[in-house]
């Protein structure tokens, strides 16, 4: 049977397709996925939270047992000076201890993930970097003896000490003094300190 066209002026209802069943969960998931894809580059470039120097100082309480209260180093050079080091260097070293890329048995228990998180590493590095210890030798007077100078230098750098033999040291010093008194020098006429 042939279709006839509707009469002029007749109202023809529009043909509509049946609506697709609604799936709000699927639409919501698509929206969230799109949002996540758009925000991912922003999150990847987001700056980490700022360092907390007070928290770093608190964490340093554990470190101070070996490295000194102010990170100045300890036990006559056995433990290195940390104060004033670069924060990048400190973070790299603590991370290397934790990953066992740098082996140091005394550091082992303190750098475990449960003991020292990434945030803690940033905080302690920021605190130790903020400490300003003297790094230049003091000006010495001519009348200051060797022990006074040694103690002054000890505040600037770690000076390892050994027991030594006082009698042999005194004999060596006397022979050097005798040699310097009898030998002309081109370095100047400043006498050897007593």
Query: What average pLDDT score do residues 16-42 get?
Result: 67
Identify which has the larger pLDDT, 27 or 66. Answer: 66
Please name which of 102, 75, 93 lies closest in space to residue 129, comparing C-alpha atoms: 93
Flag whether 72 is in a domain.
yes
Which CATH number covers residue 65? 1.10.760.10
Identify which has the larger pLDDT, 65 or 157. Answer: 65
Please name which of 182, 52, 76 lies closest in space to residue 125, comparing C-alpha atoms: 52
Flag whether 167 is in a domain.
no
Q: Round to whole Å and give the CA distance between 170 and 118.
A: 53
Q: Is the pLDDT of residue 113 over 70?
A: yes
Report pTM: 0.51
Q: Round to whole Å and give the CA distance between 109 and 162.
A: 30
Q: Round to whole Å and give the CA distance between 72 and 133.
A: 8
pLDDT at 175: 84
Q: Round to whole Å and give the CA distance between 118 and 94.
A: 9
Flag whether 118 is in a domain.
yes
Q: Is the pLDDT of residue 126 over 90?
A: yes
Per cent of the chain over pLDDT 90 is: 17
Please name which of 15, 130, 151 lies closest in space to residue 83, comparing C-alpha atoms: 130
Flag whether 190 is in a domain.
no
Identify which has the larger pLDDT, 94 or 159. Answer: 94
Question: How would residue 149 be classed by pLDDT, with cut points 50, 70 and 90?
Answer: confident
Identify which has the larger pLDDT, 28 or 118. Answer: 118
pLDDT at 170: 82
Question: Which residues span the domain enclosing 125?
Answer: 53-130
Flag whether 17 is in a domain.
no
Q: Round to whole Å and give the CA distance between 13 and 142.
A: 114
Flag whether 156 is in a domain.
no
Question: How would residue 118 be classed by pLDDT, with cut points 50, 70 and 90?
Answer: very high
Flag whether 191 is in a domain.
no
Flag whether 108 is in a domain.
yes
Question: How many structural domains compose the chain?
Answer: 1
Q: Round to whole Å and give the CA distance between 118 and 10.
A: 77
């Amino acid at each position: 049977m042939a279709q006839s066209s509707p009469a002029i002026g007749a109202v023809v209802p529009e043909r509509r397709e049946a609506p697709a069943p609604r799936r709000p969960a699927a639409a919501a998931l698509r929206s969230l996925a799109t949002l996540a894809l758009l925000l991912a580059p922003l999150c990847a470039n987001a700056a980490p939270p700022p360092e907390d120097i007070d928290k770093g100082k608190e964490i340093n309480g554990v470190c101070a047992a070996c490295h000194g209260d102010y990170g100045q180093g300890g036990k006559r050079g056995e433990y290195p000076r940390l104060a004033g080091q670069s924060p990048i260097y400190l973070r790299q070293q603590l991370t290397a201890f934790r990953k066992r890329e740098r082996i140091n048995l005394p550091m082992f228990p303190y750098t475990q993930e449960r003991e020292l998180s990434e945030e803690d590493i940033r905080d302690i590095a920021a605190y130790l970097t903020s400490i300003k210890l003297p790094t230049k030798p003091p000006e010495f007077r001519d009348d200051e003896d060797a022990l006074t100078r040694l103690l002054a230098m000890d505040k600037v750098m770690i000076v390892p000490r050994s027991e030594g033999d006082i009698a042999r040291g005194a004999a060596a010093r006397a022979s050097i003094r005798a040699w310097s008194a009898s030998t002309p020098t081109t370095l100047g006429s400043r006498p050897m300190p007593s």
